[in-house]
Amino acid sequence: MSLRTPLSRAKGLGSAKDGVHHWWIERLTAVALVPLYIWFVWGLISHAGADYETVAAWIGSPVTAVLLVLLLAVTFHHAQLGMQVVYEDYIHTEWLKLTSIVLTKFIAYVLAAAGIFAVLRVAFGG
């Protein structure tokens, strides 16, 4: 016997309400990160040993700045969703699990904002 209502079964969302959405965004961000990181690592390699002016000019150039803003936003979104799954698997004390998830999300958004601000500051020379 199932205790779920027919409507709940039809929606198929389970207790977390957004399980499919979470799963899908984790994959969507993963797909985006593949080209972004190949591009970024290539950029880092080609600027190995470069002086401050050269590196700052690279980071602040329009294409690099735009791609780096994307890389930061997508990275922290992906990381925060991924860490949530890890906590859900290992932490079985409800308040501790919730606190870890919420704290991680807040820290991730602060880091993303700080990174994006730094890139824009280099780009606009503030």
Q: In this chain, which stretch among 4-12, 48-56, 61-69, 78-86 interacts with ligand HEM, using CB under 6 A?
A: 78-86
Query: Which of 21, 113, 38 lies closest to 73 in space, CA to CA?
Result: 113
Of 20, 18, 22, nearest to 30 by C-alpha is 22
Q: How far is CA 44 from CA 15, 32, 38, 40, 80, in A?
A: 43, 19, 10, 6, 25
Among 25, 32, 55, 91, binds other proteins (CB under 8 A): 55
Residues that bind other proteins (CB under 8 A): 27, 30-31, 33-34, 37-38, 41, 44-49, 52, 55-56, 59, 68, 72, 75-76, 79, 82-83, 86, 111, 114-115, 117-119, 121-122
Residues that bind ligand HEM (CB under 6 A): 26, 30, 33-34, 37, 75, 78-79, 82-83, 85-86
